[in-house]
A and B are shown apart, each in its own frame.
Chain A
Amino acid sequence: MGEGRLGVRKTYKLYIGGAFPRSESGRSYEVTGAGGEFLANVALASRKDVRDAVVAARRAQPGWSSATAYLRGQVLYRAAEMMEGRRGQFAEVVAGAEGLAAGEAASVVGAAVDRMVWYAGWSDKLAQVAGAANPVAGPYFNFSVPEPTGVVGVLAPQASSLLGLVSVLAPVVVSGNAAVVVASQERPLPAVELAEVLATSDLPGGVVNMLTGRTAELAPVLAAHRDVEALDLAGAPEGLEAELEATAAGNVKRVLRRRKPEPDWAGEPGPERMLYFVETKTVWHPIGL
């Protein structure tokens, strides 16, 4: 790489159904760094892109949830491996997005990779921790298992562009849900990088769909969509949460509210986010000869 070589820049696109389309609207917006410098133009997703992403997620979800927990864990671990290999690139976009010094950005990226590994290991333990054989008062075998809720709309944290994103996305998909993610509006580049990692991690297309754009424009579409069963408001715009929650009642969505202020994602998360996006299924069967 001799000095003066003109770099080949990347086109930042959406990630829908395993493919990388531009927005169907043809729109894009300018992303700047913490210092106001131009970083890239990224796709400005439209309402139609949201709907397309939900269709892709719905199509992918049954296969993903019926994959074995072991396999889902390996796929997430593979994603961590791919992240590890692109740490430099991640550090660069995280530093640009969040205005961090190189060392700080590298440590955030390391934490994000470790977070993915942490959740990967949960895939085949969640049902053991959250499920049960229930001692009912009668001749029945009765057991409860957590099952994925279905298609989950995720508004990614606005500040923590990679660690926050991985911290809300991994717990959704590890249990077998499919996700439609709206990336941090002002800091979307790490999310697109992550989408490129997921596309090369044996994750079936459509299990994760990544949209960049205006959260306030896209979130209401997710909240109103009848084929979305749950909503994570982690990165919901200030002042819009009550309306999103009320809209979500249209099909009785499970809504995880935003914590204020945005939490420090560095701490060990615990299983709560995974448990929020599963349904307990209980099965009865008689015992007898």
Chain B
Amino acid sequence: MAFSRFPYAPAPESRSIVNLRPSYGLFIGGQWAEPADGDHFKTESPSSEEVLAEVSSAGPEDVDRAVRAARRAYDEVWAPMPGKERAKYLFRVARLVQERSRELAVLESLDNGKPIRESRDVDVPLAAAHFFYHAGWADKLPYAGFGPSPEPLGVAGQVIPWNFPLLMAAWKLAPALAAGNTCVLKPAETTPLSALVLAEIFQQADLPPGVVNIVTGAGATGAALVAHPGVDKVAFTGSTEVGKQIQRAVAGTGRHLTLELGGKAANIVFDDAPLSQAIEGIVNGIFFNQGHVCCAGSRLLVQEPVAEGVVEALKRRLATLRLGDPLDKNTDIGAINSPQQLDKIRELSASGEAEGAQRWTPACPLPERGYWFPPTLFTGVAPSQRIAREEIFGPVLSVLTFRTPEEAVEKANNTTYGLSAGVWTEKGSRILYMASRLKAGVVWANTFNRFDPASPFGGYRESGFGREGGRQGLAAYLKGPLDG
């Protein structure tokens, strides 16, 4: 076939730029500290199963120390500091992230398994942009539409996922710090390293001790943080299931909460869509970051007249995707982040077959070591099947069809989620019709998976509440008139 894989020579990014320490402590009060009542665990590269470093697991006492350090920094330093000074610290952080971008990108690909092309071109530049954007807000809050002198909430406890480790840290920290809060951040268990390098960056920036504290660990560490009475604000990005647990834990405490949870986005292709653009958008929508994306376009809805052609074109395109070494600059699809996630993807894919959908994958040799899943397409998917309803969080696309725009809206909204959606058509009026009817926090029209610090991101319904980014995102970290 004309579009089979060209023989590319490997083009691996050197990993020598990353100088990992053998062991990392917790970052509390500006210092590295051994866990008092916690333990240690190893973080490995999902593409090679090689151990990268040993990391501390924070116990309840460690979390308590971190929250107290954040409180002290809030009371004594950060909240009283003029906004223009806070701004300059955040600008410094943005610049330091840019300066160390190559190192951060390589580290992110090592620890997470994502292709270097993505960590280099998306994760790291966007993380820097988030700090830069929010730095500018720090001394302009009175003009943000939240009253003449909006106040911070206090100490923010922030729990982030493994799919965009550095970027999610930036999404959480930048607005919180700009608004005058101090933070205790809990990175994901399988991807703690870029947050620990970010701690080094905070040291290089001379960020006052305790303004950001980083406690690594697993779910128990996050649960201790979320339940800590010294935390005024909880922010969580992760699964809807854990989000509901957190909402229950916070119930009745008067503490503030924002949640960015799962999704099952519909990517809707009309028969007049620019098809070659749409094919690229569909591929980007679901195979970007191995499909480990809460807003991934995991349900493809194609209008019937073009359904067959779209599926054929997709198959041709999927056959050209390169899966393998995340550090290779040619790689399109990296490693699955963990064996647990790989099991989940396998289980849901098996359910798709068992429930009668047709499974297709291109010929795609998988490396022997590490965790891998080939790009996978399901056709003949019924809306009732699990692969059309549940978040797979992997490189698996379910294809459904529709006839009329009304049917597309109905099918797209037939989910408990509401994070994102895509629309592909050349007709402007139809884009606006669809955009106004889709119950989703982000609608990408003739594009997909675009992010920007100025663009509010967040869900409807069980995809969570609150926004990150833009003026709206500041509300998550400021006291409002309705707060008791």
Contacts and interface: CB of A to CB of B under 8 A. Distances in A.
Contacts of A250: 244
B447 A140 contact: yes
Q: Which of A142, A243, A260, A276 has the most CB of B within 10 A?
A: A142
B261 A252 contact: yes
Contacts, number: 124
B467 A280 contact: yes
B77 to A, nearest CB: 30
Contacts of A66: 436
Contact of B247 (A130, A132, A252, A256): A252
Given A134-B470, A252-B244, A283-B443, A257 B484 contact: yes
Given A259-B482, A259-B484, A249 B247 contact: yes
A248 B257 CA distance: 14
Given A280-B472, A282-B457, A134 B452 contact: yes
Interface in B176-218: none
A136 B452 contact: yes
Contact of B251 (A134, A147, A249, A283): A249
Given A246-B251, A252-B244, A254-B465, A136 B450 contact: yes
Contacts of B129: 137
A245 interface: yes
Contact of A241 (B244, B252, B443): B252
A282 B436 CA distance: 10
A136 B455 contact: yes
B456 interface: yes
Interface string B250-294: 111110000101000000000000000000000000000000000
A285 B248 contact: no
Contacts of B254: 257
A129 B146 CA distance: 11
B450 A140 contact: yes
A284 B455 contact: yes
Contacts of A138: 450, 452
Nearest to A276: B482
Contacts of A149: 460
A285 B192 CA distance: 34
B90 interface: no
Contact of A281 (B441, B462, B463): B441
A230 B439 CA distance: 15
B446 A229 contact: no
Nearest to A269: B481
A273 interface: yes
Given A136-B455, A142-B455, A257-B254, A285 B445 contact: yes
B447 A284 contact: yes
A144 B441 CA distance: 9
Contacts of B252: 241-243, 245-246
Q: Which size class do A's interface residues fall under?
A: 35 or more
Interface string A234-258: 0000000111011011111010111
A286 interface: yes
Contacts of B240: 252
Interface in A123-172: 129-130, 132, 134-138, 140, 142, 144, 147, 149-150
A264 interface: no
A83 to B, nearest CB: 25
Nearest to A149: B460
Nearest to A256: B482
A272 B442 CA distance: 22
B365 interface: no
Given A142-B455, A282-B441, A242 B472 contact: no
A279 interface: yes
A284 B454 contact: no
B60 to A, nearest CB: 22
B440 to A, nearest CB: 7
A138 to B, nearest CB: 7
Nearest to A281: B441
Nearest to B416: A251
Contacts of B471: 132
B454 A134 contact: yes
Contact of A249 (B145, B244, B253, B470): B244
Contacts of A2: none
A270 interface: yes
Contacts of B247: 245-246, 248-249, 252
B15 interface: no
A229 to B, nearest CB: 7
29 contacts: A130-B472, A132-B471, A134-B454, A134-B470, A144-B456, A144-B470, A147-B436, A243-B251, A243-B252, A246-B247, A249-B245, A249-B247, A252-B244, A252-B247, A252-B463, A256-B482, A257-B254, A258-B484, A279-B441, A280-B441, A280-B472, A281-B440, A282-B441, A283-B435, A283-B445, A284-B444, A284-B445, A284-B447, A285-B445
Given A140-B447, A149-B460, A245-B247, 14 more contacts: A132-B470, A140-B450, A142-B454, A246-B248, A252-B244, A254-B465, A272-B482, A280-B470, A281-B443, A282-B443, A282-B457, A283-B444, A284-B443, A285-B447
